[in-house]
Amino acid sequence: MAATKEQVLASLAKVPGPDGTPLPNTGALSDIIVTDGKVFFSISVDAAVVKNWEPVRKQAEDAVRATPGVVSAMIALTAERSAGQGGAKPPPPAHAARPHAHGTGQAHAHPADKVQPGVPGVDAIIAVASGKGGVGKSTTAVNLALGLRDLGLKVGVLDADIYGPSLPKLLAIKGRPETLGGTRLKPMEGYGLKVMSIGFLIEEETPMIWRGPMVMSALTQMLREVEWGKLDVMVVDMPPGTGDAQLTIAQQVPLKGAVIVSTPQDLALIDARRGVAMFKRVNVPVLGVVENMSYFLCPSCGSRTDIFGHGGARTEATRLGVPFLGEIPLHMDIREKSDAGLPVVATEPDGAHAKIYRDIAAKVLEQIKGGASSGRSAPKIVIEA
């Protein structure tokens, strides 16, 4: 029998907060979500006292896991900057979300002393982002990861699109990650990629309400409390858009660079421009722009139509001084295969589409090896003819 919310609360009542108050009475708990034995909630505390709460988070997690009928627990400790604070503070623990820009859309430049530590064993982390949803960001992230795999690299994919995790479907991976030693998760595997997604931990239909700091905390756990092993590249599939959540991820994940996916329409390009600006603002090198659904290739006759005014992203990339990485046609095969969990690079490796993705992967690799080697340094600008 799966555990109920009441049972989880009863277990938490035995866990004292730092001043001895039973956890459910501290006012620090978010809504507790319990689905099929999987438990999620966050503990939100003032940034100044976050250190005192870390052992409480751990105890709470242990207590919840020990509750009969609980199969997994993800408990995020989130720290908020309290009013009037602003000076130097000790860094919160790795899995506590750090204070972040609120609502203003204004990022503060990333001072050198705030550079996030890397993930042990992972050589380079790159983000795949888009200014808005539906442009094919996840499809591109998956096929790019597979393209990098085909270049002989060990590749992981982290689904940071926690509002709409799609990697389990795009890679046809079912099941739940195993826990290693009670605290760390073993990544799932598909097509030779190591994969982690919140989608493995919650049911697709479960409505999740993510408050800002919870996003980063869940993500930090997926980044740092997963046994990724040795990886040459980790591809992070970002949530679509350029809001505060994306900005915080861009600031707090130790990114080597970012790839922006856009369709060629003017409106999408305006959003893509925001994406480029967002990464530049936090000193993450933009590795380049990919134009997806660039032109239409008729599946029966093979003729090509530029239905969306192909080429906009290339022009935009040149204008913004970032590399243009390639164009991917709008093709039924890509859609059908992607949606069926059969990404073209893995399932039709000799096809024309796979080659396009592999070429993009090669350019990304070149960028990682060359221009972006110093992490947060200014991007190397490569303008292609």
CB of 130 to ligand ADP, least distance (A): 5
Report the residue number, 96 or 196, with the smaller CB distance to ligand ADP: 196
CB of 199 to ligand ADP, least distance (A): 13
Report the residue number, 124 or 328, with the smaller CB distance to ligand ADP: 328
Label the pairing between strands 304-305 and 184-185: unpaired
CB of 143 to ligand ADP, least distance (A): 9
The CA distance from 177 to 120, in Å, is 20
Query: DSSP character for 72?
Result: E
Report the residue number, 251 or 338, with the smaller CB distance to ligand ADP: 338
In 3-state terms, what secondary structure has residue 358? helix
CB of 165 to ligand ADP, least distance (A): 10
CB of 339 to ligand ADP, least distance (A): 5
The CA distance from 66 to 84, in Å, is 39
Report the residue number, 142 or 231, with the smaller CB distance to ligand ADP: 142
Query: DSSP character for 87?
Result: S
The CA distance from 166 to 4, in Å, is 27
Closest residue to bound ligand ADP by CB: 136
In 3-state terms, what secondary structure has residue 178? coil
144 with 153: CB under 8 angstroms? no
Q: Phi first, then psi: what are they for 362, rounded to 5°?
A: -65, -40
Query: DSSP character for 299?
Result: T
CB of 356 to ligand ADP, least distance (A): 9
Report the residue number, 212 or 240, with the smaller CB distance to ligand ADP: 240
Report the residue number, 135 or 185, with the smaller CB distance to ligand ADP: 135
* DSSP sequence for 108-171: PP--GGGPPP--TTEEEEEEEEESSTTSSHHHHHHHHHHHHHHTT--EEEEE--TTS--HHHHT
CB of 240 to ligand ADP, least distance (A): 6
Residues that bind ligand ADP (CB under 6 A): 130, 133-139, 166, 240, 292-293, 328, 330-331, 334-335, 338-339
Which residues pair with residue 96 across a beta bridge?
77
Report the residue number, 59 or 347, with the smaller CB distance to ligand ADP: 347
Report the residue number, 249 or 330, with the smaller CB distance to ligand ADP: 330
The CA distance from 18 to 345, in Å, is 51
CB of 335 to ligand ADP, least distance (A): 3
Token pair, residue 171, equals 């890679």
Token pair, residue 323, equals 């590399």
